[in-house]
Amino acid sequence: MASEYSPGLEGVMAGISGISEVDPIQNTLIYRGYDARELVEKCSFEEVAYLVLYGDLPTHTEYDAFTSRIKAQRDVPSSIYDLYRSFDNSAHPMDTLKAAVAVLAAQAKNASDISESASLAAAESLLAKIPTLVVNGYRVTHGDAPRPPSKELDHNQNFFYMLTGGEPNPMFNKALNATQILYIEHGFNASTFSSRVTVSTLADLYCGVVSAIGTLKGPLHGGANEHAMAMLLEIGTPERAEAWVDDALTNKKKIMGFGHREYKKGDSRAVIVKKHVQELSDALGNRKWIEISDIVEAKMLAAKNLYPNVDFPVASTYYLMDIPVELYTPMFVMSRVVGWSANIIEQLANNRIFRPQSEYNGPHDKKVTPLAARV
């Protein structure tokens, strides 16, 4: 049964899901019935990860068991670091991460098991190990020794500890908690959709996550956060911002961190993250990035009626916390692996293979000239 072609599948309903609801009219994001704004205010990353994976917020006992399981699984085999050392220096961290997750799959005993219990176990293992791969991937490819992950610290504290070896700053933890919660899940975005397409063939969770990492890398999706920071750095000063945007728009360039397929009146996640940029800028006495951002925002609204999406304020948040720009997109994976996993498990529970149609617009009736006669 043919249906009308919609470029980019805009407006096409491709599935039914009970995991998250993106409401562009109300400008809200709901995870399993809870407003993401309230989750950011009241919950830790681990509580929300549990909610998205298991369907509701954990009890105290469930929370303790879940966080203990995650902390205990943070180590990765040292052979993965040998692999990192073999990579080209210019390798993008999303490519090294994608390779490392594929290796974890090949080293796992039952990676091909697509039962719900095996998928949940694989999801927890990846949730525990991906921050280790992200930070130690960066360390090893920059000539530093891998730092063993903490077995006590929570998700956010452990990330800062692994990166700096020092005491985590409470204000940084709060900001990272917000961005990591808000990155967990977001409807049928491109990477989530690709993970669902992959497992709809009855491939396993690892395959779905590897597909999704590749999809997230692109600048129109998760790669937008590091590209947004590259843009802010290139603009450099508030005085240059307006002319820079004018010039970019005249040259038909896309401004990274702006626009969204679903949200047309602003991204509720961006509003929350911007508060953290403000708080960090004031506390650190560095208002440069927020001043440039405000000018870019005003200009984009006036010129294109486009609002910033979550990746725009995330870029300044991470930069103010001294996190290397090349880690911004891999840090998205540290969180979104939860959403991908929940979607993969939901897809497998009620599966039908994704197989849409394409309309052929190539030539017909060509005749084969033998190779020897072809010039």
The phi and psi torsions of 236 (rounded to 5 degrees) equal: 80, -45
What are the angstrom distances between the C-alpha of 128 and each of 264, 287, 356? 35, 35, 35
Nearer to ligand COA, 172 or 263 (CB): 263
Site string (256-275) toward ligand COA, x via CB under 6 A: xxxxxx--------------
Q: Which of 69, 92, 254, 287 contacts ligand COA by CB under 6 A?
A: 254
Count Cα neighbours of 132 within 13 Å in the Cβ-side half-sphere: 26
Residue indicated by tokens 């293992």 = 125
- Closest approach, Cβ 191 to ligand COA, in A, equals 11
Identity of residue 37: R
- Closest approach, Cβ 266 to ligand COA, in A, equals 12
Nearer to ligand COA, 220 or 283 (CB): 220
Catalytic residue among 221, 227, 260, 276: 260
Size of the site for ligand COA (CB under 6 A): 16
User: How far from chain centre, in Å, is Cα 326?
Assistant: 13
Four-point Cα dihedral 83, 89, 93, 98, nearest 10: -40
- Closest approach, Cβ 153 to ligand COA, in A, equals 29
Residues 299-318 that bind ligand COA (CB under 6 A): 304, 306, 309, 311
Nearer to ligand COA, 80 or 306 (CB): 306
- Closest approach, Cβ 53 to ligand COA, in A, equals 22
Nearer to ligand COA, 231 or 323 (CB): 231
Q: Which of 19, 255, 314, 342 contacts ligand COA by CB under 6 A?
A: 255
Q: What is the CA radius of gyration of the chain?
A: 22
Nearer to ligand COA, 83 or 266 (CB): 266
Strand 20-23 versus strand 28-31 pairing type: antiparallel
Nearer to ligand COA, 158 or 194 (CB): 194
Residue 151 sits in the site that holds ligand COA (CB under 6 A): no
Sheet with 20-23: strands ordered across: 20-23, 28-31, 34-35
The structure tokens listed for 77 are 């085999």
In angstroms, the CA 138 to CA 284 distance is 25
User: How far from chain centre, in Å, is Cα 101?
Assistant: 15
In angstroms, the CA 170 to CA 154 distance is 12
Catalytic residue among 186, 204, 276, 311: 311
Within 10 angstroms of residue 18's Cβ, the number of other Cβ atoms is 10
| Strand, helix or coil for residue 187 | coil
The structure tokens listed for 202 are 């009855």
- Closest approach, Cβ 259 to ligand COA, in A, equals 2
Residues 8-47 that bind ligand COA (CB under 6 A): 8
- Closest approach, Cβ 141 to ligand COA, in A, equals 26
Establish whether 260 is a catalytic residue. Answer: yes
Q: Which of 127, 224, 337, 344 contacts ligand COA by CB under 6 A?
A: 224
Nearer to ligand COA, 174 or 261 (CB): 261
- Closest approach, Cβ 303 to ligand COA, in A, equals 9
In this chain, which residue has its C-beta nearest to ligand COA? 259
Selected range binding ligand COA among 15-23, 194-202, 216-224, 271-279, rule: CB under 6 A:
216-224
The structure tokens listed for 293 are 């951002």
What are the angstrom distances between the C-alpha of 32 and each of 39, 49, 84, 225? 11, 11, 37, 26
What are the angstrom distances between the C-alpha of 282 and each of 144, 278, 289, 343? 33, 6, 11, 38
DSSP letter for 182, please: H
Catalytic residue set: 260, 311
Binding positions for ligand COA, rule: CB under 6 A: 8, 220-221, 224, 254-261, 304, 306, 309, 311
